[in-house]
């Protein structure tokens, strides 16, 4: 998008998501200077962030926990952005830094853009490698194969890539980013356009998922991971805070059952922290929630109820197996788990 188009969007009151600036790739052949290597890289996430949550889910499904370590930020950014205040001395114990921006600075001095998660940092040099959230998970699936666990699923199967890409493109435009475009719209008609897109896509997804257990083919793929992280935040945040309130997720029988099916699959619900999610959105976006009050509801215990989707067939992990339990150090604290208000 050029400067003129950007200006046009601003005048129309539309929210525009910035392009990831650091798009180096970590690959098996190391062509960008960053070869796949166990223990070398640290994935920095906020549990609140849907784009970072994708990376946590992929890492777990693929069994990359011991190959790529994990740093979890405070759900609330301050003026220096993401902070490691959940760690002793407010410092990430591996990178030794207090703010993620230090890794950005080590990579490029005076970088003018935002500091975003997910981010992957090269541990030996302390430099940011990539914040390209669309690419990180695809590379976990396709470039890190040598370090996948035994029984890891194929999340981006060669024969279905075109269909997966098409589904993900629509879901990104209308749902993943659509909820942000609704929530951050500065003009009524920009909000309404985004709102219509969210629910047009929900209706399309609901119809598709009434006949098949997962979005593409018989197994869980990258497309499901990407849709899931938005659905997980829908009733807790997007319905109220972002005004996406034609209906709740839990009022759409098909999508709600689909989301619960994934939530109850190892890797999905066990990486979802509702406390971080709610605190982040309601306390950070003071432009749309000036009091910073975090609502107590909704009741989240429904996430654990039976979903009945097994009757549609499907094989969640294909020829593979579910991942083992979450490492103790990475477990979602009890206050963030799905529970009654």
* DSSP three-state, residue 168: helix
Q: Is 230 in the site for ligand GSH (CB under 6 A)?
A: no
CA angle 110, 100, 270 (to 5 degrees): 150
Closest C-alpha to 118, from 36, 41, 195: 41
* Distance in Å, CB of 187 to ligand GSH, minimum: 21
| 22 contributes a contact to ligand GSH by CB under 6 A | no
- Shorter beta-carbon distance to ligand GSH: residue 30 or 114: 114
Residue 289 as a binder of ligand GSH (CB under 6 A): the answer is: no
- Pick between residue 51 and residue 140 the one whose CB is nearest to ligand GSH: 51
Using the rule CB under 6 A, give the single segment among 17-25, 209-217, 271-279, 317-325 that binds ligand GSH: 17-25
Q: Which residues 119-158 are close enough to bind ligand GSH by CB under 6 A?
A: 131, 133
Exposure letters 61-79 (e unless 16+ CB within 10 A, then b): bbbbbebbbbbbbbbbbee
Among 18, 66, 286, 305, binds ligand GSH (CB under 6 A): 18
**Where are the strands (E) in the chain, listed by range?**
41-45, 68-72, 119-122, 127-130
Judged by CB under 6 A, the residue of 9, 15, 16, 17 near ligand GSH is 17
Is 264 a binding residue for ligand GSH by CB under 6 A? The answer is no
Size of the chain, expressed as the number of residues it contains: 341
Question: Do the Cβ atoms of 151 and 320 come closer than 8 Å?
Answer: yes
Compute the Cα dihedral for 159, 163, 166, 171 and give only its sign: negative
- Residue 213 burial (C-beta neighbours within 10 Å; 0-12, 13-18, 19+): buried
49 binds ligand GSH (CB under 6 A): yes
Q: Does residue 180 have an active-site annotation?
A: yes
| Least distance (Å) between residue 316 CB and ligand GSH | 27
**Residue 222 to residues 123, 167, 202, 323: CA-CA distances in angstroms?**
27, 10, 18, 16
115 binds ligand GSH (CB under 6 A): yes
Identify which of residues 99 and 144 has a Cβ nearer to ligand GSH in the complex. Answer: 99
Please report, as ranges, the residues that interact with ligand GSH according to CB under 6 A. 17-18, 20, 49, 51, 77, 81, 114-117, 131, 133
Active-site amino acid positions: 49, 180
């Amino acid at each position: 998008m050029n400067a003129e188009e950007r200006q046009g969007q601003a005048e129309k009151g539309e929210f525009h998501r910035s392009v990831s600036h650091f798009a180096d790739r970590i690959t098996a052949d190391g062509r960008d200077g960053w070869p796949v290597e166990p223990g070398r890289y640290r994935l920095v996430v906020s549990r609140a962030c849907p784009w970072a949550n994708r990376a946590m889910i992929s890492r777990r499904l693929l069994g990359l926990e011991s190959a790529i370590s994990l740093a979890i930020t405070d759900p609330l950014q301050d003026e220096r952005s993401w902070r490691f205040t959940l760690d002793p001395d407010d410092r990430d114990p591996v990178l030794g830094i207090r703010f993620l921006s230090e890794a950005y600075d080590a990579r490029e001095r005076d970088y003018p853009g935002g500091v975003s998660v997910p981010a992957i940092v090269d541990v030996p040099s302390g430099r940011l490698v990539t914040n390209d959230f669309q690419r990180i998970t695809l590379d976990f699936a396709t470039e890190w194969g040598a370090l996948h666990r035994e029984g890891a699923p194929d999340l981006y199967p060669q024969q279905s890539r075109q269909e997966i890409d098409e589904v993900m493109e629509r879901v990104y435009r209308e749902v993943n980013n659509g909820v942000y475009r609704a929530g951050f719209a500065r003009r009524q008609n920009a909000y309404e356009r985004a709102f219509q897109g969210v629910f047009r896509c929900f209706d399309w997804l609901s119809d598709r998922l009434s006949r098949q257990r997962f979005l593409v083919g018989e197994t869980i793929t990258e497309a499901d991971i990407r849709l899931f992280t938005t659905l997980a935040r829908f009733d807790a945040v997007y319905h109220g805070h972002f005004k996406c309130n034609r209906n709740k997720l839990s009022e759409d029988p098909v999508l709600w059952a689909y989301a619960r099916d994934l939530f109850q699959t190892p890797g999905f619900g066990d990486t979802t922290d509702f406390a971080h999610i709610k605190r982040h959105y309601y306390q950070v976006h003071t432009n749309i929630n000036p009091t910073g009050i975090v609502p107590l509801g909704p009741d989240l215990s429904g996430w654990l109820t039976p979903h009945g989707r097994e009757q549609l067939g499907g094989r969640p992990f294909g020829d593979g197996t579910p991942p083992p339990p979450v490492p103790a150090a990475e477990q979602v604290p009890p206050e963030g788990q799905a529970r009654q208000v």
